[in-house]
Amino acid sequence: MSTTAQPRGTARALLTANAAIIYAFFYLPILVLVFFSFSNSRNVGRWGGFTLHWYGDFANNHPLQNALKISLKVALISTVISVILGTMAALALERAKFRSQRIFDALLYLPIIIPDVTMAVMLLIFFSQFFNALDVMFGIQMTKGIGTIVISHVAFNISFVSVVVRARLAGMDEGLEEAALDLYASRWKSFRYVTLPLIAPGVAGGGLLALTMSLDDVVITQFVSGPGSTTLPVYVFGLIRKGVTPLINSVSVVILAASILLVALSLIVQRASGGRDGGAVDSFVDVSQ
Amino acid sequence: MTASLTPPAPDVQPERPDDAHTSVATIAFERAAEKAASRRGFVMALPAYAYLIMFFIVPLVIVVVYSFATRNRFGGTDLSGWNLEAYRKLSNPIVRSILVRSVWLALITTVVCLVAAYPFAYFLATRKPAIRNILLVFVMIPFWSNFLVRTYAWRVLLGSGGPVSRLTDSLGMGETRLLFTPSAVLIGLVYGYLPFMILPLYAAIERIDMGLVEAARDLYASSWQSFRRVLLPLSMPGVIAGSILTFVPSLGAFVTPEILGGAKTTLLGSYIVTQFLTARNWPFGAALSTVLMVVMLGFTIIYFRKGGRTL
């Protein structure tokens, strides 16, 4: 890229200032939250000396710990399922041709852009209808719980995994798989020993992204969870609605740290594989398109 | 083809001989191979395909069906008598004011995000690759980190006697009372969805050949003209994608108005949730969700028509 298209003088200064303001806007609120989570004051927005008291409260709070366990369980199960289905979907779209491919592509795109509330409503009505029908037809009683949460999370995570894996596949040389086949590798062997190792970073990155999405979701989970299956974000959301307390500050910081760690890990994993420069970042940019 | 003792040169493709005698058989063979490949592709797509039909398309259809159903006296839903009652309720003044307020707030959010994000995306796209990737990662982090917690941070910041209030007080502007006002919701929405505007804009601008902008400048276009006539039209797919990704979730926002808004700032998202969790009027809630879905689909079609992404 040439440098002459770069703005000079005032325009350049304004662009830099705008960027600085945007980064400050992104990170100052987070830093303020971290700061006050160590404050020894009942008022969430006041400094009252350093303390780790609120983090201790989090560690000893049974409902919160229980919600955390449910969140982790749901996230792990739903991630494993969506990684398998999402990777297969990505392979089908990038490496094969079939008749309803365009429809499938569009279908995969929908869960990413649909508003949370709409998807939550859809799944709530669906499960209530479905359980009703089971009861009437077979006398099977089922209720909402961890199972319904997992099903719902997989429904949106397949799409995210497939986008990340597709980005990886698109940047990969198809000739390598063909070479393996020419050398009498079976389809499975060419997949196992050529394709899979090459897309592994994309699969891992997609998986970490799915884990993050599952651990973050509030709206959909709230609609499809039953008594005794409250996840951490749903529980925290309930606490915030009742009123802010320093305990919420500390829980928030822990959640935030965990999600930042997962995103960073996902970027590093995709990067470490020596893909094209900025490939990892590109795959995330692709998700946003 | 004559048998040869020497191995074929690498550029010879034995499956595609030009020989007319074998071509019919070859075409038939290739067709069969293509069919097998197509079947393999479909089989591979099948699990995700079936899953999304079962847990996405079927629920979507059920919501639309529900929106034509009747709410019975016990808060249940009768699927017999079909009617448009739920849609008629949309013209009720209270409902209409909620719809107007939601659309208005979502529009302002989108415009604010666009104005802030465009120069920023341009700034990112014109950095050296090494610096650009680091800068991008710092946009990525808020993009993917917990939305609930990021919104909660503003509750702490804007609370009465909180940091923002004390800051404006010490600057002699008096204490601000932003929390539970529409302004607080606007701040929360911009904060939440700004990365959704930045990333598609960045992706679109980064792809533009900056030589074109340069050429316009060389041909004596002013900076405004080169922006208006060259950069902006070329980055339009990014502008549209970013606007949809900001507008649609803002319109259906639930968490942000719930945490930062007050009782007087009910928005579409919260109103839909109320229909299901407290008012127990499922057909009406389903009708509102259907409206939201139609808006989303409408925008998506516009986006694809404009050639935003190859589908």
CA distance A9 to A4: 13
How many beta-carbon pairs below 8 A join chains A and B? 303
CA distance A281 to A267: 7
Chain B (84-113) residues lying within 8 Å, Cβ to Cβ, of chain A:
none
- A-chain residues near B114 (CB < 8 A): none
- A-chain residues near B309 (CB < 8 A): 289
- B-chain residues near A223 (CB < 8 A): 276
3 state SS for chain A: CCCCCCCCHHHHHHHHHHHHHHHHHHHHHHHHHHHHHCECCCCCCCCCCECCHHHHHHHHCHHHHHHHHHHHHHHHHHHHHHHHHHHHHHHHHHHCCCCCHHHHHHHHHHHHHCCHHHHHHHHHHHHHHHHHHHHHHHCCCCCCCHHHHHHHHHHHHHHHHHHHHHHHHHCCCCHHHHHHHHCCCCHHHHHHHHHHHHHHHHHHHHHHHHHHHHHHCCHHHHHHCCCCCCCHHHHHHHHHHHCCCHHHHHHHHHHHHHHHHHHHHHHHHHHHCCCCCCHHHHHHHHHCC
Residue in chain A nearest B135 by alpha carbon: A23
- B-chain residues near A5 (CB < 8 A): 126, 210-211, 213-214, 217
Q: pLDDT confidence of B4, banded at 50, 70, 90?
A: very low
Residue in chain A nearest B160 by alpha carbon: A45
Mutation site, A85, A121, A196, A266, interface B, largest B CB count within 10 A: A121
Please state, rounded to an integer, the average pLDDT across all residues of chain A: 85
Tell me: pLDDT of B10 over 80.
no
Chain A (106-145) residues lying within 8 Å, Cβ to Cβ, of chain B:
106-111, 113-118, 120-126, 129
CA distance A216 to A222: 12
Q: Do B293 and A118 touch (CB under 8 A)?
A: yes
> A159: which 2 tokens?
């799409």
Give me the residue from A18, A25, A278 closest to B133, CB to CB: A278
Tell me: pLDDT of B16 over 60.
no
Give me the residue from B44, B146, B198 closest to A255, CB to CB: B146
- A-chain residues near B196 (CB < 8 A): 288
Evaluate whether B62 touches A162 at the Cβ level (below 8 Å): no
Q: Do A88 and B44 touch (CB under 8 A)?
A: yes
Q: Which pLDDT score, from 0 to 100, does residue A285 have? A: 57
Averaged pLDDT for residues B225-230? 85
- A-chain residues near B189 (CB < 8 A): none
- Does any CB of chain A come closer than 8 Å to the CB of residue B49? yes
Backbone angles phi, psi at B64, to 5 degrees: -65, -40
- Does any CB of chain B come closer than 8 Å to the CB of residue A219? yes
List, for residues A38-89, the tens digit of each pLDDT value.
988 877 777 888 888 888 888 888 999 999 999 999 999 999 999 999 999 9
Q: Which pLDDT score, from 0 to 100, does residue B75 have? A: 65
Amino acid at B123: F
Q: Do B123 and A285 touch (CB under 8 A)?
A: no
Full-model pTM: 0.85
CA distance B95 to B93: 6
Averaged pLDDT for residues B115-122? 95
Distance from CA of B17 to the nearest CA of A (A): 17
Taking the CA of residue B38 as centre, how many other CA atoms within 13 Å lie in the half-sphere pointing to its CB?
10
Q: Do B311 and A237 touch (CB under 8 A)?
A: no
Chain B (251-310) residues lying within 8 Å, Cβ to Cβ, of chain A:
251-255, 258-259, 269, 272-273, 276, 282, 285-286, 289, 292-293, 296, 300, 308-309
Provide the β-strand partners of residue A39.
A50
CA distance A229 to A217: 14
Residue in chain B nearest A209 by alpha carbon: B144
Amino acid at B191: Y
Backbone angles phi, psi at A234, to 5 degrees: -65, -40
- B-chain residues near A208 (CB < 8 A): none
Residue in chain A nearest B116 by alpha carbon: A18
Cα three-residue angle B238-B241-B246, rounded to 5 degrees: 120
> B309: which 2 tokens?
């992404």
Averaged pLDDT for residues A250-273? 83
- A-chain residues near B117 (CB < 8 A): 22
Q: Which of B288, B44, B262, B85 is nearest to A115 (CA)?
A: B288
- Does any CB of chain A come closer than 8 Å to the CB of residue B36? no
Distance from CA of B83 to the nearest CA of A (A): 19
- A-chain residues near B64 (CB < 8 A): none
Distance from CA of B225 to the nearest CA of A (A): 14
What spatial distance separates the first Cα and last Cα of chain B, rounded to whole Å? 42
- Does any CB of chain B come closer than 8 Å to the CB of residue A233? yes
User: Who wins on pLDDT, A185 or A231?
Assistant: A231
CA distance A83 to A26: 30
Give me the residue from A33, A89, A109 closest to B45, CB to CB: A89
Give me the residue from A19, A45, A209 closest to B163, CB to CB: A45
Q: pLDDT confidence of B120, banded at 50, 70, 90?
A: very high
> A5: which 2 tokens?
């298209």
- Does any CB of chain B come closer than 8 Å to the CB of residue A152? yes
Cα three-residue angle A83-A84-A87, rounded to 5 degrees: 75
CA distance A182 to B188: 56
Three-state SS at B162 = coil
Q: How far is CA B296 from the centre of its chain?
A: 9
Three-state SS at B70 = strand
Three-state SS at B71 = strand
Q: pLDDT confidence of B308, banded at 50, 70, 90?
A: low
List, for residues B256-296, the tens digit of each pLDDT value.
999 998 777 788 999 999 998 888 889 999 999 999 999 88
Averaged pLDDT for residues B221-228? 83
CA distance A107 to A103: 6
User: Who wins on pLDDT, B303 or A121?
Assistant: A121
List, for residues B184-214, the tens digit of each pLDDT value.
999 999 999 999 899 889 988 988 888 888 8
**Could you tell me whether strands B70-71 and B77-78 are parallel, antiparallel, or unpaired per DSSP bridges?**
antiparallel
CA distance A191 to A180: 9
List, for residues B30-52, the tens digit of each pLDDT value.
888 778 878 888 888 999 999 99
What spatial distance separates the first Cα and last Cα of chain A, rounded to whole Å? 24
Q: Can you tell me which residue has the tokens 């601008």? A: B205
Q: Which pLDDT score, from 0 to 100, does residue B24 have? A: 75
Evaluate whether A262 touches A214 at the Cβ level (below 8 Å): no
CA distance A218 to A170: 33
Distance from CA of B240 to the nearest CA of A (A): 10
Q: Which of A158, A128, A170 is nearest to A276 (CA)?
A: A170
CA distance A9 to A7: 7
- B-chain residues near A162 (CB < 8 A): 48
Q: Which pLDDT score, from 0 to 100, does residue B19 have? A: 53
Tell me: pLDDT of B119 over 90.
yes
Q: Do A32 and B157 touch (CB under 8 A)?
A: yes
